[in-house]
């Protein structure tokens, strides 16, 4: 009996230190009920300690190697889309996913703007060319969802092209999943104030200034427009066969850990450590289907030619 009590206390300390969801209190985290809740504030009032973060990251990266071995041995195919607001921490999360993986079986796809030839092709064509073969994991640092975000907000596509995207994307993704691909769609969200702070930090850091572009700068002034575009995207493309997962990235450390944990928990790889690859912290990670999304949208998809 005493051993059980000691074990319960130990489990509670480990879970709280690693960012797993403790009981909510008036001074602690509150499970979000909408994407706005996740966007406007950090999941926890205090940042995760560096020592806890590094320990948890190492354990998760060991699990990632187990997962990659399973992918290679079984010929599985895994696709992970990293989407979200500018400066939401997508690139940092990708680096933590990949930094210890074998690059022969794991690659990052970050496409530049389409060439003149690519503009004449089927919109999804240049992305399909980068899908994994058996035994591969592909990380898309932005993906075909550019059309649902930056392209429509910045006027790089027409309303008709935008509407057609919403017709075709769910069908494409259903085909990918039915073909055996494990598809993850991660949306990293961040508050406007935190986004502004991160842009300012980039502007003064000579090693990160390359990340800043006129498109990124417009992300601040068009913050609300990007929010509406995101809501419309979730409304039309969050499907049971290919669901969206929302990551609160106002605190990068927890966002990195819990996005990795979510993927690991969802895959049936061998020798999984259930304590490490447990269900992700619900204060940081939520299925889009559980978040309140604006229900009344201008139904361009229904009226498009």
pLDDT tens for residues 190-232? 999 999 999 888 878 777 766 667 777 778 899 999 999 999 9
Q: Does 32 map to a domain? A: no
- Assigned domain for 13 exists: no
pLDDT tens-digit map of 125-175: 999 999 999 999 999 999 999 999 999 999 999 999 999 999 999 999 999
In a domain, 69, yes or no: yes
Q: What is the pTM of this model?
A: 0.86
Q: Quick check: is 155 in a domain?
A: yes
Mean pLDDT of the residues in the chain: 88
Cβ pair 161, 246 in contact under 8 A? no
Mean pLDDT value across residues 100-120: 97
Count Cβ atoms below 10 Å from residue 241 Cβ, excluding itself. Answer: 12
Is 7 domain-assigned? Answer: no
The Cα–Cα gap between 257 and 5 comes to: 28
Question: Is 92 within 8 Å of 126 (Cβ atoms)?
Answer: no
Domain that holds residue 260: 45-303
Helices (H), 75-222: 90-98, 116-119, 125-128, 152-153, 159-178, 192-203, 214-221
* 244 found inside a domain: yes
CATH number at residue 242: 3.40.50.300
State residue 151's pLDDT score.
Answer: 97
Q: Is residue 134 part of a domain?
A: yes
List, edge to edge, every strand of the sheet that includes 136-141.
106-109, 136-141, 77-84, 181-189, 244-248, 285-287
Structural domain contains residue 4 = no
Q: What is the pLDDT of residue 132?
A: 98
The residue ranking higher by pLDDT, 16 or 96, is: 96
Res. 294 pLDDT band, cuts 50 70 90: low
Return the pLDDT at 225.
Answer: 95
The total number of structural domains in the chain stands at 1
Range in 62-71, 167-176, 208-217, 273-282 the model is least confident about: 208-217
């Amino acid at each position: 009996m005493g051993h059980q009590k000691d074990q319960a206390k130990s489990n509670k300390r480990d879970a709280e230190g690693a960012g797993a969801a403790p009981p909510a209190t008036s001074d602690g985290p509150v499970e979000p009920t909408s994407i706005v809740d996740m966007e406007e504030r950090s999941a926890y009032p205090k940042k995760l300690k560096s020592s806890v973060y590094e320990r948890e990251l190492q354990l998760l990266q060991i699990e990632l190697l187990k997962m990659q071995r399973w992918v290679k041995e079984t010929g599985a195919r895994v696709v992970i889309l990293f989407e979200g607001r500018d400066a939401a921490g997508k690139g940092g999360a990708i680096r933590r996913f990949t930094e210890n993986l074998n690059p022969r079986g794991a690659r990052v796809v970050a496409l530049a703007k389409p060439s003149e030839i690519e503009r004449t092709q089927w919109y999804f064509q240049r992305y399909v060319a980068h899908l994994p073969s058996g035994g591969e994991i592909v990380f898309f640092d932005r993906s075909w969802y550019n059309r649902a975000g930056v392209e429509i907000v910045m006027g790089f596509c027409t309303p008709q092209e935008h509407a057609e995207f919403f017709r075709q994307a769910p069908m494409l993704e259903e085909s990918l999943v039915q073909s055996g691909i494990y598809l993850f769609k991660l949306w990293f969200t961040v508050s406007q104030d935190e986004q502004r702070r991160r842009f300012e930090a980039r502007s003064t850091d000579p090693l990160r200034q390359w990340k800043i572009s006129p498109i990124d700068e417009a992300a601040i002034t068009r913050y609300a427009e990007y929010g509406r575009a995101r809501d419309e995207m979730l409304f039309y493309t969050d499907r049971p066969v290919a669901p969206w997962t929302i990551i609160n990235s106002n605190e990068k450390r927890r966002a990195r850990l819990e996005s990795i944990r979510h993927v690991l928990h969802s895959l049936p790889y061998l020798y999984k450590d259930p304590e490490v690859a447990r269900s992700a912290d619900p204060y940081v990670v939520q299925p889009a289907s559980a978040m309140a999304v604006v229900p009344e949208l201008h139904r361009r998809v229904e009226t498009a030619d």
